[in-house]
Structure formats: C-alpha cells, structure tokens
Amino acid sequence: MTRPRCALIRFSRRPRRSTRRATVTIPPRDLSDKAQRHPEKAHRADSESPRKPAWIRVKAPGSPGYAQTREIIRAHKLSTVCEEAGCPNVGECWSQGHATMMIMGEICTRGCTFCNVATGKPQTLDAFEPARVADAVAKLGLNHVVITSVDRDDLGDGGAEHFAQTIRAIRRKRPDATIEVLTPDFLKCRPEALETVVAARPDVFNHNLETVPGLYPEVRPGARYFA
C-alpha cells in the first residue's frame, strides 16, 4: 500500500498593520443651507411640506425698496431675523424699509425645533454693532425699530448690556423713533440681566413664550416657561 505524500504547507507572515491614521478633512458647515442648520428636520417623512395654497404664496423679492434695504443691511454688516429665520414676508417688509434687526451674531446657543436660526458656538460680541444698527436705522428712516437677538447662554448677562447699548445708540441717532425689543429669557444668566435691558427704557418689551408648558422639553429644550 502506497502511503500518501504529505503536502508542504507554507506559512507567510501576516502583513503589519499601519499605525498611521487616515486624515479626513471635513468641510466647514455652510450655514446658508437650511437643511444643514437643523438636520433633524430634513429628509423625514413626518416633516414633508404639502403644496401651499395660492393665497399663501408670495412673490420673489425684487423691488427697488427691497434692494435699497438689503444694500443698507449688507453695508452695515447686520443680521436680520427676516433672513436668518427664513421669513417668507421679507420681500414685502423690506420693500417698505421695514426690517427686524437681530443682534449678537447669527449663531444661537439654543436649538429650538421651530426655529431656523443656526445653532452652535457663537463668536465674541461685536462692540461696534450697536453703532452700526443705529446708523442703519437712521438711513432707513425708521420711525419704529424692532430689535431681537439669538440666545447667548455663553455670556454672563446673556447679552443684556449689548441690548442696552443698542437701545441707547438708536436714541442718540434717531431720538423720535420708538424702540421695541424682543429678548431671550436670560434663564442661565445673572439675575440683574433683565433689569439692565429695562433700565435702557425701550418703548416696548417683548418675550415670546412660543408654546404651552407641556411642550417645552420638545419644542424649546433648555428653556423655561415664564407665566
């Protein structure tokens, strides 16, 4: 009986693993892309928007008044809630020289689910912004000014002093104009933050509650219902 031949098995060394890590470059976020501002709202079956009725549609902005307002806003490097919140009435309001200024930057420290403003880490406050707002108000010839802002939980006073400086700057530049402010809740700030804004004597003081208390954890995380 013939014995079977033994097969010769060769073992090769396992290739060494590279200790070098691959570097992936992530491009900066384009905050102009609405879907990137709140990705949790994009590509969801329950967030599909039905076709709007004819009576709710608006024309694309393009009037001379709109262009003039836009030019003044751009020249003064200002943010407006009209643009940052994606308001569909921007063409109508800007054509009449009306605009709601949004101070303290265009990045908010909160992530309210109803809002289109970008969420993230804001930059430092611009000390020259109050003067630019006042100058823009004068050039637009506004008789009534509305000032709002992003939430700035990164600041000790929530930006209250910046609000006050903006109010005083407008008073000096446009003394006959009435000033309306729409402030954050100053929830995570020093107790005297609210008094700082009130002491600047705006003509109208607003704060939006937005929804009922039971929906706050979902709609306004990080905020509190004030009644």
In angstroms, rounded to a whole number, what is the distance separating the alpha carbons of residues 103 and 105?
6
Whether 58 shows a pLDDT value over 90: the answer reads no
Average pLDDT, the chain: 82
The closest of 171, 31, 153, 147 to 78, measured between CA atoms, is 147
**Residue 3's pLDDT is what?**
53
**Residue 14's pLDDT is what?**
55
In angstroms, rounded to a whole number, what is the distance separating the alpha carbons of residues 107 and 143?
28
Two structure tokens written together for 74: 């751009």
Report the b/e string of 115-126 with b at 16+ CB within 10 A.
bebbbeebeebe
Band of pLDDT at residue 26, cut at 50, 70 and 90: very low
**pLDDT per residue as tens digits for the range 118-165:** 899 999 999 999 999 999 999 999 889 999 999 999 999 999 999 999
Whether 186 shows a pLDDT value over 50: the answer reads yes
Q: What is the DSSP letter of 63?
A: -
Between the alpha carbon of residue 182 and those of residues 160, 197, 204, 221, the distances in Å are 11, 11, 8, 19
**Residue 16's pLDDT is what?**
57
Domain coordinates in residue numbering, the chain: 61-219
Note if the pTM is more than 0.85.
Answer: no
**pLDDT per residue as tens digits for the range 85-114:** 788 888 888 888 888 999 999 999 998 888
Band of pLDDT at residue 52, cut at 50, 70 and 90: confident
Please give the share of the chain, as a percent, with pLDDT higher than 70. 78
The answer to whether residues 111 and 156 touch, using CB atoms and an 8 Å cutoff, is no
Band of pLDDT at residue 23, cut at 50, 70 and 90: very low
The closest of 97, 223, 66 to 151, measured between CA atoms, is 223
Which H or E run contains 206?
A: strand 204-206
In angstroms, rounded to a whole number, what is the distance separating the alpha carbons of residues 113 and 115?
6
**Residue 24's pLDDT is what?**
41
